Amino acid sequence: DGGITQSPKYLFRKEGQNVTLSCEQNLNHDAMYWYRQDPGQGLRLIYYSQIVNDFQKGDIAEGYSVSREKKESFPLTVTSAQKNPTAFYLCASSIWVSGEGNEQFFGPGTRLTVL
Amino acid sequence: GEDVEQSLFLSVREGDSSVINCTYTDSSSTYLYWYKQEPGAGLQLLTYIFSNMDMKQDQRLTVLLNKKDKHLSLRIADTQTGDSAIYFCAEKPGGYNKLIFGAGTRLAVHP
């Protein structure tokens, strides 16, 4: 089955620790995205990547880092510099064609809680 | 600037129609989307409309777009308990491949 997987589903972190969230897709999509969702707010874009070895900051990139070494994978690291990391993190992917709808497909999400 | 606004809650009776409204600010938006999120899950694309269309219908879903007023609505006919979820409106500003999401409307369906 084609789709996007995220792991783990739940993650607990102590203050001061870095943690990496996994996102894998087998849809052969060029573009991948990371969003953060907080209660009562829409999704906010953290980072996105159009092609392998390239990525751009979104609206709230501070305290986060990403890599895109493979087309299928776009891991997100939440660093200790992120002041309020407790949130629901969603990964998405899409084809990348300028001017088209480019529907984004979402993974099931990872809920990160900082203790 | 870019902003998408939605009302936060909607409660309807099972079998009635639901109408979820959304306003956006970027007049260059080329596509507008409706996503559904069930508890603890990712987002599922329900439907989308291209900015040169006024209406799109897909089974129980009807999307209306008023480009002059920058107003988008999603009508769900014969609402069922399985439609209970959060519905997000999103716009795709022209020239960008990112989406701007509203805060989501929580739809509650009661008997």
Query: Would the CB atoms of A106 and B50 count as touching at under 8 Å?
Result: no
What is the per-residue pLDDT for B57? 95
Average pLDDT, chain B: 91
pLDDT surpassing 60 at residue A99: no
Cα–Cα distance between A38 and A36 in angstroms, integer?
Answer: 7
Of A4, A42, A105, the CB nearest to B4: A42
Q: Which two tokens stand for residue A84?
A: 């309020």
In tens, the pLDDT along B36-72 reads: 999 888 999 999 998 888 999 999 999 999 999 999 9
pLDDT surpassing 60 at residue B1: no
Least Cα separation, residue A17 to chain B (angstroms): 25
A11 touches chain B (CB under 8 A): no
Contact assessment for residue A52 and residue A25, using Cβ atoms and an 8 Å cutoff? no
Measured in whole angstroms, the distance separating CA A11 from the mean position of its chain's CA atoms is 14
The stretch A28-43 carries a mean pLDDT of: 90
What is the per-residue pLDDT for A112? 95
